[in-house]
Structure 1
Amino acid sequence: MELNRKENKARPGGVKYTITLEQKGKWMELISKACRYDFYHSWTYHSLDNSKGKVLMFVYEEGPDFIAIPLIKRSIPDAEYYDMSSVYGYSGPVSNQEFEDLSPGFTGRFKNAFLDFLREEKVVTIFSRLNPFFNQTLLLEPFGGLVANGKVVVFDLGLSIEVQRQNYHGGVLRKIRKLREKGYYVKEGGTDEDIKNFVSIYTSNMLRVDASETYYFDEPYFKTLLRADEFDARLLFVYDKDDYPVCGAVVVHTNGIMQAHLLGTRTAWLADSPAKLLTEEITIMGRKLGAKYYNLGGGLGFKEDSLFLWKTNFSSLTFEYQTWRFVADPETYNALLLQQEIDPHTEVDFFPLYRLQAHKV
């Protein structure tokens, strides 16, 4: 299948094009050339997206150098326009060079090419979650729309497990020792039966916290994720003394970064907090895999809530988490807000605002 290439005639030598999910080989080849990428950028992860939009990756290229952004193009209800979003997780742009090493001329031409692309595609807004481990804000600052969304809690796996334990707070070490004394242990899984067990644990967890439908996943989702070749995804369980799986997590290791993707605990075992033991065991496994960091994530909505504080009992190291909320077509954006009688200056933390009512349904 031919790439949808368009010569950027205003800037000789520059080429802009898109890669779709149908071009699996091209997608995988390009991402593999990025100097930094996470599993959230992979073809496999994007193929699992259920947002009912068209998945694509915009690419701007000059010779061997490129900048690419994977996005999902969605129709705006009752309008002839579109908007773009990122997958769930830490995505954003990638490049074959560090962002700080890209020349101002190259990034400026990328910006012009990308703005041209948005106009051609009738895109009103872009919402993209950014990766806290990559310096993507350097590239996106000239566009505007960067929003600080809080922090994620991170383990530095360059520290020894002994030093890590010295940094625990809130009785975490004592609790982990007590769990081991009670007979709890951690074991990796991967069979169809293991996946079924994890779906049960995870789904009941989501029902308990009244999560939105976007946080629910079926067995085929996990089978695809855990058996992918583009990254190292693993399923781990905490078993009680009766060898019953009471807590589980899917973690993914890519290029030195381990992400806590999804985690759940059976309600009847919450009081024992087996997730504490699981968390420590994952860091031990991460060291063996050569990971540099293990990202525990933030609080709900990346607020500094009880979940965030629970995580900071393990590590005081935090990274800034940001989103990119770019209005490409301000005139149409304001018209859409006016149409729905939404105050553009509202304090509601939601973007784009014209999707707010649909989000509440």
Structure 2
Amino acid sequence: MGLAEKADWIKYVERAADYDFYHSWQYHSMATNGAPILFIYEEAGNFIALPLLERPIADTIYYDLHCVYGYSGPISNLKFDQQPDTLKDNFLNTFLAFLQQGKYVSVFSKLHPFFNQNELLKRTKGLYENGKTIAVDLQQTLEEQRKQYRGTTWEGIKKCRRLGYTLRESRKQEDIAAFTQLYQANMGRISATDFYLFDEAYFTQLIHSTEFDCKLVLVYLGDEIACGSVITLTNGIIQGHLIATNINHLKYSPAKFLIDEVSGLGRKWNMKYYHLGGGLGYKEDSLFEWKRGFSNLILDYYSWRYVANEPVYNQLVEKSGIDIQDTTDFFPLYRMTPQ
């Protein structure tokens, strides 16, 4: 089904044993880099569904499928480790037949670190170990949580408190606009690709969503915004979706203060985890180490990289000028820009 079947899409997501806002109809409706579809297989009252974005492959009769920005992958009304083998096998067989009929060359989907989707997808080729992500366990006390903080992390948080930083939640349009400017300045500073340059309309849609709970939290020093984050609250999980810091406040790292404050609020919101994500490209880099300063809870992160039509995939890679043996962490290879 596509976006036109809004009510049905929402119904299947709500029936799922585990899902996140990344699976929602509204989040998919905001995607600009493909046509959203929700593939559903159903038998004996149980279902498995997989949301994806369809893209035509230029100058060919073929398409490929990839996922929205974030952690999606399959959902089901049953936990994946409780599904009958027949349901798993029938879903996969039906989906693979759908790929052949639809002239799809490849499928790329980032999996959700909390949902054990590997139980389903390990039955196929293409399950790829991407790296690690960091989460904060909000089911422990705040005191227990803070004992896991790296010394420099806790000192930075305390310094922000002494300097008078405060955190507020806002839905005001002027604050959404201010955060957008802050975020775009951050992306410009790190030379991010156009894909990551989300605009004010994007953030406005997210924060005013009726399908999921999305909040804009801002750290102020006096009247100046020092840092901000767009977070979502779904089924016990806070996702630190996007974060940005004012360059004038970088030396005080108010993002550390923000994470500590949101952790405290998360307990009031009855959340179980605060997912901070991983490093850049899910490598254990300086960003990963910064997040690691908050928690010992490290999750395995996987993606599904399935080649549905190997001869055509190889032809497309060859035509693109990329070496088929290239070990760069990029999929599908034929969409990578040659260096």
Query: By the TM > 0.5 criterion, same fold?
Result: yes
Corresponding residue for residue 152 of structure 1: 133
Alignment TM-score, normalising by the size of structure 1: 0.92
Corresponding residue for residue 10 of structure 1: none
Corresponding residue for residue 244 of structure 1: 224
Corresponding residue for residue 184 of structure 2: 203
Which of 106, 112, 116 aligns to 1:131? It is 112
CA distance in structure 2 between the partners assigned to 1:169 and 1:246 by the alignment: 22
Tell me the secondary structure at the aligned position of residue 171 of structure 1.
Answer: helix
Shift of 1:63: 3.1
CA distance in structure 2 between the partners assigned to 1:230 and 1:336 by the alignment: 39
Where in structure 2 are the equivalents of 1:1-361 lying within 5 Å? 19-51=1-33, 53-240=34-221, 242-357=222-337
* Counterpart amino acid of residue 289 in structure 2: L
Alignment TM-score, normalising by the size of structure 2: 0.98
Shift of 1:338: 2.3
* Counterpart amino acid of residue 34 in structure 1: A
Superposition misfits of 4+ residues, deviation over 3 angstroms: none
Tell me the secondary structure at the aligned position of residue 183 of structure 2.
Answer: helix
Shift of 1:165: 1.1
CA distance in structure 2 between the partners assigned to 1:196 and 1:319 by the alignment: 34
Tell me the secondary structure at the aligned position of residue 70 of structure 2.
Answer: coil
* Counterpart amino acid of residue 22 in structure 1: A
| CA RMSD, 1 decimal | 1.1
For residues 21-40 of structure 1, the C-alpha deviation after alignment (integer angstroms, 9 at most, x for no partner) is 11111110111000100000
* Counterpart amino acid of residue 116 in structure 1: A
Shift of 1:334: 1.1
For the 8 Å contact 1:201–1:246, the answer to whether it is kept is no
Tell me the secondary structure at the aligned position of residue 36 of structure 2.
Answer: strand
- Unmatched 5+ stretches in structure 1: 1-18
CA distance in structure 1 between the partners assigned to 2:314 and 2:156 by the alignment: 53
Shift of 1:357: 2.1
Aligned length: 339
* Counterpart amino acid of residue 295 in structure 2: S
Tell me the secondary structure at the aligned position of residue 247 of structure 1.
Answer: strand
For residues 272-312 of structure 1, the C-alpha deviation after alignment (integer angstroms, 9 at most, x for no partner) is 11111101011111111111110001111111111110111
Tell me the secondary structure at the aligned position of residue 357 of structure 1.
Answer: coil
CA distance in structure 1 between the partners assigned to 2:215 and 2:318 by the alignment: 47
CA distance in structure 1 between the partners assigned to 2:263 and 2:314 by the alignment: 47
